[in-house]
Amino acid sequence: MSQPNIITKIIKRDGRIVIFDQDKITQAIYRALRSVRETNVLLAQEVSDKVVEVLNDRFSNSVPGVEDIQDVVVSILSAIGYEEVARSYQEYREKRAFIREAKYWLLARDIRTKLSENSVKVLESRYLRKSEDGKILETAQELFKRVAHNIASAEKNFNPSITDDELFRVEEKFYRMMAQLEFLPNSPTLMNAGNYLQQLSACFVLPINDSLLSIFEALKQTALIHQSGGGTGFDFSHLRPHGDFVKTTAGVASGPISFMRIFDSATQEIKQGSFRRGANMGILRVDHPDILEFIAVKADNKTLQNFNISVAITNEFMEAYEKDEMYPLRNPRTGQVIEKLSARMVFDCIARTAWTTGDPGLLFIDRMNDERGNPVPSLGRIEATNPCGEIPMLAYESCNLGSINLNAVLKEEGEGKCVFDWDGFGTLVHNAVHFLDNVIEMSRYPLNEIDQATRSMRRIGLGIMGWADILMKLGIPYDAEEAYEFAGRLMKFVQDEARRASDELGKLRGPFPNYTYSIFVHTDRKPRNAALTTIAPTGTISVISDCSSGIEPIFALAYIRKARLNRGARDDKDEWVDLLEVKFRKKLKKSSASQWK
């Protein structure tokens, strides 16, 4: 009879938290007994009960790992006189670990990760595992191994009988594309996969309704998300405007911008997973009464420094702009029109402020919710995006991102000529979709609401980086018509192949759980993921990959980029380093040499 358990879960080597099952301990002990010709089933159960008794005592307030449990098994077998069995059990553990390490040793000889000086600086400061005193504990290859092993482990959730060799083939596929800098996931996945935190998503959207309870609940949730390494997006449009009546206090409302300042201050105090500061997206509808104050709020370059802000533009506003008409401002509390403004005047304010400060951006909120933008319109409207604005999501959704380095699929054909490898690109897209779907499975989410919403939609964001690099190598000007046509062809290819990959996963694993509420239910598609592609800024992962950021142009052949580093310091001072970026050294040397012949 099994020992009553206090512990209910264990942490697997790959970081997954699973239900504790004593029978598995009993079976492992029995196999060790059989290896020395001892077939006493009752003895195996007796040892198993003692193991659970020790675990209950040691881990009453924490979750044990697999290694913790195995250490206790070896200890108890030795203590009761079965030292030969203990050695057999230990040898089996070491044999499996040796085989896996040997496979990776062969892989490491086959794959040489070429890192630039900037890549090394960024990896050492923010990504590689460190001890409490700041000592680096892993190499870049070991980082990629850690991530690949962790993300590949999701296969066990769909195929519990998968063999070690089959699992390693998936792991190798993921390792190769990261170690060769062909594809990299977002920073939280690189930082947290295989670590205790195991929070792998970059982007979250939280709802804010017109009550103090809702506002400060969102603030608490924001703190938890930022602490775990994510960024947050909010729509503040539901909050009543400045000066509006508050029934409970017979006073007046302070308006959405005052609460944004509170969120900004809280963000300033929280360091994301000890690696980076938090980031927010603040959104206000163009028909909110406080819109003009919102547009100008960052004009002093001091206010809301932890926010990007965007105006949610409606179709009604754009029609008024085209006709040079007034459009209504509505009180979100009552729905009543309280004022009208010139659409062109407001648009001019947006343009001027964006030119001088970089904010606000524009979100075409009605376009986001039409049949092309919202895959599940029956579940509600999309109101907000992630901090960088590329992922529209429903309340409590999160999304994990990854980008393909286009330099990796550009092949040289001699005499400096390059061609695009469409077949290799297609393979990368399929592997990346597989990887990102596994990330959803492996991530440990900071809130139950986020866990449920994310797994119900399984939204991923696959994009590209290095666009400007390959245009230069192909000899295509960034602003040429040829570049525009190539971009359309390339992104159509990404979208088509990502859909095929998601549909294939849907057949194997089932469509995303909210499929029955989606626009796909009326088609012949059953995708694994509600949404697939995006274009992310790829700020830090493009530095690691030594390529141009996202689809951005290269604004100078040589420049110095300021990067915030983390050295494990416990004070509030940020440490910065200069990253010297010199683009196309070979081309510069060649042109320089020919110039002086």
Q: Is 388 a catalytic residue?
A: yes
Q: How far is Cα 489 from Cα 468, in angstroms, rounded to an integer?
A: 16
Whether residues 402 and 505 fall in one domain = yes
Q: What is the Cβ-side half-sphere exposure of residue 554, based on CA atoms within 13 angstroms?
A: 23
43-76 CB burial, b ≥16 within 10 A, e <16 = bbbebbbbbbbbbeeebeeeebbeebbbebbbeb
Whether residues 299 and 228 fall in one domain = yes
Q: What is the pLDDT of residues 545-592, one digit of tens each?
A: 999 999 999 887 776 766 665 544 444 455 555 565 666 555 544 443
Q: Which residue has the tokens 């409207």?
A: 381
> 186, 306, 308, 386: which is the annotated catalytic residue?
386
Q: What is the DSSP letter of 16?
A: -
Q: What is the DSSP letter of 240?
A: P
Whether residues 212 and 349 fall in one domain = yes
For 562, counting Cβ atoms within 10 Å of its Cβ (0-12 exposed, 13-18 middle, 19+ buried), the class is: exposed
H helices present in 510-595, as ranges: 539-544, 585-595
Q: What's residue 147's pLDDT?
A: 95
Whether residues 192 and 220 fall in one domain = no
Q: Which domain holds residue 461?
A: 118-198+398-557
Whether residues 167 and 92 fall in one domain = no
121, two tokens:
């600086």
Q: Which residue has the tokens 């951006």?
A: 361
106, two tokens:
């062969």
Whether residues 251 and 383 fall in one domain = yes
Q: What's residue 117's pLDDT?
A: 83
Q: What is the pLDDT of residues 255-273, one digit of tens each?
A: 999 999 999 999 988 865 4
Q: Are 306 and 267 in contact (CB under 8 A)?
A: yes
Q: What is the pLDDT of residues 333-363, one digit of tens each?
A: 999 999 999 999 999 999 999 999 999 999 9
- Cα-based angle 403, 406, 411 (whole degrees, multiple of 5): 150
Q: What is the pLDDT of residues 233-245, one digit of tens each?
A: 999 999 999 988 7
359 against 13, higher pLDDT: 359
Question: What proportion of the chain, given as a percentage, has pLDDT over 90?
Answer: 57
Q: How far is Cα 413 from Cα 474, in angstroms, rounded to an integer?
A: 12
The DSSP string of 462-479 is: EEEE-HHHHHHHHT--TT
> 118, 171, 306, 388: which is the annotated catalytic residue?
388
Residue 594: count other Cβ atoms within 10 Å of its Cβ.
8
Whether residues 357 and 478 fall in one domain = no
Helix (H) or strand (E) holding 341: strand 337-342
Q: What's residue 592's pLDDT?
A: 39
Q: What is the pLDDT of residues 381-394, one digit of tens each?
A: 999 999 999 999 99
Residue 232 placed within a domain:
yes
Whether residues 244 and 331 fall in one domain = yes
Whether residues 182 and 303 fall in one domain = no
Q: Is 390 a catalytic residue?
A: yes
Task: Please say if the pLDDT value at position 507 is more than 90.
Answer: yes
9 against 428, higher pLDDT: 428
> 155, 390, 441, 497: which is the annotated catalytic residue?
390
Q: What's residue 551's pLDDT?
A: 94
For 378, counting Cβ atoms within 10 Å of its Cβ (0-12 exposed, 13-18 middle, 19+ buried), the class is: exposed
The whole-number average pLDDT for the span 277-290 is: 94
Residue 369 placed within a domain:
yes
Task: Please say if the pLDDT value at position 521 is more than 90.
Answer: yes
Q: How far is Cα 345 from Cα 324, in angstroms, rounded to an integer?
A: 9
Query: What's the chain's average pLDDT?
Result: 86
Q: What's residue 110's pLDDT?
A: 64
| % helix, strand, coil for the chain, step of 5 | 50, 15, 35
Whether residues 548 and 404 fall in one domain = yes
Whether residues 222 and 308 fall in one domain = yes
Q: Are 215 and 208 in contact (CB under 8 A)?
A: yes
Domain count, the chain: 3
